[in-house]
């Protein structure tokens, strides 16, 4: 046998294909594993060796039995993502406090002077809201509130430190709105006017989430009303809230120096991050073909761009001048910002721009990788061909596909695209932004701390556990179980994986989580797909393309291929997941293409000879 292996180093995974090319082209084995280190660095060797050993083990041969190992001729491309907040609102002096506990008591809106429960004996005809610290038992609190009400005290609401809102309210002769679980209750200023609002179950507050409602309660001027907009925004969607005006009432808003991006292409153009993702992408299209991108010194975005260069420079041992930004994807999103002065860890969603930057270096690192792999395996290592070209060769092995063809290789850090015409001419393009950026958007917009959970939300469908014996999927279908589910999952929104259900620690509804997930995918993948097809199609005419084959890890997603297919149906394009060699699915395209390229060159030499 004359065995040749093709190895594709991706941002997230490393893939191998092995074929016997002695009498024709006969693929025998394949394997996939996690990429070790950043793509295009010598740290990739460890991962390459693991998948190579696995693929060889499947056909009972040693690595030393290989005739050659082919890797792709590609300038290393890495993607980095960062959130750049456009503005940050700092609320000082506890001017407005918003809170949304799980178990508020009562219903309605209550306005009054903030006092401690012990002060009720001194209350006359004024309207009050009572503070109930944790050292006061709920039965005592209810008893004292009832006695005061019977004396004619106008108690319009209460704020409790413990989780006692419902059980206190159930014992009252007059139901009042009660917001509980206020951890830092000692920070609440006494003697000031406050408002407590609790909505009906399944509904959200209406007055405290409305800046004009706040203005009415606290007699705010038009200027002050404009300043409390962040407070109202922070309370939108809550079932309950408490807002208090402090003595100083000082609200300050400042703009973080998010900075400017400087695009260098056929001309130089500057664009501020505060312009938003759509304007940034418009500016980028005006300067293409892009040569490099820099960021304004001393700003958030400038630091992000230079950090990416430095990381790649250290890994590849190249001077920063040799490393350029090949592409950038900017997406408008929201970023939770902690409200300074809050009493229960309140957050407000602020406008932000998510950036994915793609870095290109020289070809030198691939030569280092080839040399190191040659030393490790004692096998001839060939830098066979450009990655996108190899992906096209592999993509053409999908049954039913034909030229002219476009492959869209959607990985973790970048979206790589290539077009092959009937004359076999190939045009390729690489764009920043793929699966990792989608996960980052989901993590940010849902306020989740765990990146792996955001990955699960991206990859798997959602369900709501309605009882211990059934759940309802996001599409409305119901699944029943003979054995009871864990009680910790009851009434929770969960991610349904192959063998487990992962609860999502958030108060967002299943519809909101689904919307965030789908919007994140649309903003990243649909944006990149459309700009890729426009750039590589003949005469920038997307309708001239007949077939689009989706490749890479993101092509295995349960909804991304359908979203792209729906979008491209308007152009009469046949689009779907690739099935490399009729058996690998959307994986292994580049590795397969490397082997095919090697075989074609060998056969060409034999014909010439």
Least confident of 175-189, 240-254, 284-298, 489-503: 240-254
Classified as helix, coil or strand, 202 is: coil
pLDDT digits (tens, 9 = 90+) for 272-309: 888 888 899 999 999 988 888 888 876 777 777 777 77
pLDDT of residue 93: 38
What pLDDT shows up at residue 361?
A: 61
Q: Is the pLDDT of residue 254 over 50?
A: no
Q: Read off the pLDDT band of 192 (50, 70, 90).
A: confident
pLDDT band at 388 (very low <50, low <70, confident <90, very high): confident
Q: Is 168 helix (H, G, I), strand (E, B) or coil?
A: helix
The DSSP element (H or E) to which 160 belongs, if any, is strand 154-160
For residue 75, give the 3-state DSSP assignment: coil
Q: What is the pLDDT of residue 479?
A: 94
Q: Which of 108-122, 312-326, 478-492 bottoms out in mean pLDDT, i.e. has the lowest?
A: 312-326
Instruction: Report CA-CA distances (Å) from 486 to 144, 179, 473, 478, 522.
Output: 40, 30, 17, 17, 34
Structure tokens at 457: 């939300």
Asked if 504 contacts 492 with a C-beta cutoff of 8 angstroms, the reply is: yes
CB 128 within 8 A of CB 154: yes
Residue 452: its pLDDT value, please?
Answer: 93
- Quick one: pLDDT band at residue 177, thresholds 50, 70, 90? very high
539 Ramachandran zone, left/alpha/beta (phi>0; psi -120 to 50): left
Residue 87 makes CB contacts below 8 A (sequence gap 6+) with 253, 254, 255, 256, 274, 350, 351
pLDDT on residue 404:
86
Asked if the model's pLDDT at residue 67 lies above 60, the reply is yes
How far is the C-alpha of 318 from the C-alpha of 368, rounded, in Å?
12
What mean pLDDT, rounded, does the chain reach? 85
- Whether the pLDDT of residue 250 is over 70: the answer is no
For 263, residues 6+ apart whose C-beta sits below 8 A from its C-beta are: 269, 270, 271, 283, 284, 287, 290, 293
Containing 443, the helix (H) or strand (E) segment is helix 435-446
Tell me what the mean pLDDT of segment 409-423 comes to: 87
SS3 of 252-264: the string is EEECCCCCEEEEE
Say yes or no to pLDDT of 249 above 50. no
Q: Which of 173-187, 251-265, 298-312 has the weakest average pLDDT?
A: 251-265
Question: For the residues 407-427, what does the mean pLDDT come to?
Answer: 88
Does residue 122 have a pLDDT over 80?
yes
Of 85-94, 96-105, 489-498, 580-589, which gets the smallest average pLDDT? Answer: 85-94
Query: Band of the pLDDT at 186, cuts 50, 70, 90?
Result: confident
Cβ atoms 388, 354 nearer than 8 A: no
Task: Give the least confident one: 251-260, 473-482, 512-521.
Answer: 251-260
Tell how far CA 131 is from the center of its chain: 40
Alpha carbons 461 and 481: distance in angstroms, whole number = 18
- What is the C-alpha separation between 460 and 504, in angstroms, rounded? 12
pLDDT of residue 413: 77
Helices H, strands E: what count in the chain? Answer: 16, 29
Distances (CA, A) of 347 to 120, 195, 342, 451: 32, 19, 9, 19
Higher-confidence position of 313 and 593: 593
pLDDT at residue 497 tops 80: yes
| Backbone φ, ψ for residue 96 (5° rounding) | -135, 135
56/214 Cα distance (integer angstroms): 70
What pLDDT is stored for residue 319 in this prediction? Answer: 74
Residue 93 and residue 371 in contact, taking contact as beta carbons nearer than 8 Å: no
333, 82 contact by CB (below 8 A):
no
Which pair of structure tokens corresponds to residue 597? Answer: 């390229």
- Provide, rounded to the nearest whole percent, the portion of the chain with pLDDT above 90: 48
Q: Please indicate whether residue 469 or residue 339 has the higher confidence score (pLDDT).
A: 469
Report the relative pairing of strands 268-272 and 260-264 from DSSP bridges.
Answer: antiparallel
The predicted model gives 63-77 an average pLDDT of 81
The pLDDT of residue 338: 59
Q: Look at residue 240 in the predicted model and tell me its pLDDT.
A: 86
Q: For residue 90, what pLDDT is reported? A: 41
CB 78 within 8 A of CB 312: yes
- Can you list the domains of the chain with their CATH numbers? 1-74+363-397+587-609 (3.30.420.40), 80-87+255-358 (3.90.470.30), 94-250 (3.50.30.70), 436-518 (2.40.50.140)
Q: Return the structure tokens found at 421.
A: 């015409």
Q: Quick one: pLDDT band at residue 94, thresholds 50, 70, 90? A: very low
- 27-56 confidence digits (pLDDT tens): 999 999 999 987 777 889 999 999 999 999
CB atoms within 10 A of CB 203: 10
User: Between 123 and 568, whose confidence is greater?
Assistant: 568
Kindly state the average pLDDT of the residues 421-436: 87
pLDDT of res. 252: 47
DSSP string, 276-335: -HHHHHHHHHHHPSP-EEEE-TTSHHHHHHHHHHHHHHHHHT--GGG-EEEEEEEEEEEE
User: For residue 4, how many C-alpha atoms fall within 13 Å in the half-sphere facing its CB?
Assistant: 27
């Amino acid at each position: 046998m004359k065995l040749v292996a093709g190895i594709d180093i991706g941002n997230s995974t490393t893939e191998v294909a092995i074929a016997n090319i002695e009498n024709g082209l006969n693929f025998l084995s394949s394997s996939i594993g996690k990429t070790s280190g950043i793509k295009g660095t010598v740290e990739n060797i460890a991962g390459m060796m693991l998948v190579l050993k696995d693929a060889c083990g499947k056909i009972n041969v040693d690595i030393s039995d290989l005739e050659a190992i082919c890797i792709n001729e590609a300038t290393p491309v890495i993607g980095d993502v960062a959130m750049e907040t456009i503005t940050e609102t700092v609320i000082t002096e506890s001017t407005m406090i918003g809170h949304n506990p799980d178990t508020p008591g009562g219903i309605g809106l209550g306005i009054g002077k903030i006092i401690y429960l012990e002060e009720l004996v001194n209350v006359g005809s004024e309207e009050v809201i009572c503070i109930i610290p944790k050292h006061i038992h709920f039965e005592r609190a209810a008893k004292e509130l009832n006695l005061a009400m019977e004396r004619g005290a106008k108690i319009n609401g209460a704020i409790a430190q413990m989780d006692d809102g419902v059980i206190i309210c159930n014992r009252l002769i007059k139901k009042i709105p009660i917001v509980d679980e206020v951890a830092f209750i000692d920070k609440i200023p006494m003697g000031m006017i406050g408002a407590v609002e609790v909505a009906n179950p399944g509904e959200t507050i209406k007055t405290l989430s409305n800046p004009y409602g706040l203005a009415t309660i606290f007699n705010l001027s038009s200027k002050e009303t404009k300043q409390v907009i962040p407070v109202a925004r922070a309370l939108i969607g809550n079932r309950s809230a408490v807002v208090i005006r402090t003595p100083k009432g000082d609200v300050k808003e400042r703009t973080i120096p998010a900075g400017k991006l400087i695009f260098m292409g056929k001309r130089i153009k500057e664009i501020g991050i505060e312009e938003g993702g759509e304007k940034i992408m418009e500016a980028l299209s005006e300067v293409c073909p892009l040569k490099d991108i820099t960021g304004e010194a001393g700003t958030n975005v400038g630091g992000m761009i230079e950090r990416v260069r430095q990381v790649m420079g250290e890994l590849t041992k190249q001077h920063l001048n040799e490393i350029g930004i090949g592409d950038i994807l900017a997406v408008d999103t929201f970023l939770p910002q902690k409200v300074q002065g809050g009493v229960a860890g309140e957050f407000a969603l602020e406008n932000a721009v998510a950036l994915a930057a793609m870095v290109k270096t020289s070809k030198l690192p691939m030569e280092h990788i080839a040399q190191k792999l040659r030393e490790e395996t004692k096998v001839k290592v060939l830098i066979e061909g450009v990655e996108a070209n190899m992906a096209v060769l592999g993509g053409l092995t999908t049954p039913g596909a034909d030229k002219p063809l476009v492959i869209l290789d959607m990985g973790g850090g970048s979206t790589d695209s290539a077009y092959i015409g009937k004359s076999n001419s190939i045009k390729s393009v690489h764009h920043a932004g793929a699966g990792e950026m989608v996960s980052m958007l989901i993590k940010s917009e849902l306020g989740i701390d765990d990146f792996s959970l955001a990955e699960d939300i991206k990859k798997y469908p959602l369900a709501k556990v309605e009882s211990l014996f059934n759940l309802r999927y996001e599409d409305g279908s119901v699944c029943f179980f003979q054995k009871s589910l864990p009680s910790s999952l009851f009434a929770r929104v969960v991610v349904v994986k192959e063998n487990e259900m992962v609860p999502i620690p958030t108060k967002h509804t299943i519809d909101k989580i689904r919307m965030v997930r789908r919007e994140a995918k649309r903003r990243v993948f649909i944006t990149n797909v459309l700009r890729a097809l426009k750039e590589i199609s003949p005469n920038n005419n997307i309708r001239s393309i007949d077939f689009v084959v989706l490749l890479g890890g993101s092509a295995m997603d349960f909804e991304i291929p359908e979203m792209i297919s729906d979008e491209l149906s308007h152009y009469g394009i046949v689009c779907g997941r690739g099935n490399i060699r009729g058996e690998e699915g959307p994986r292994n395209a580049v590795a397969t293409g490397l082997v095919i390229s090697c075989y074609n060159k060998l056969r060409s030499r034999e014909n010439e000879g």
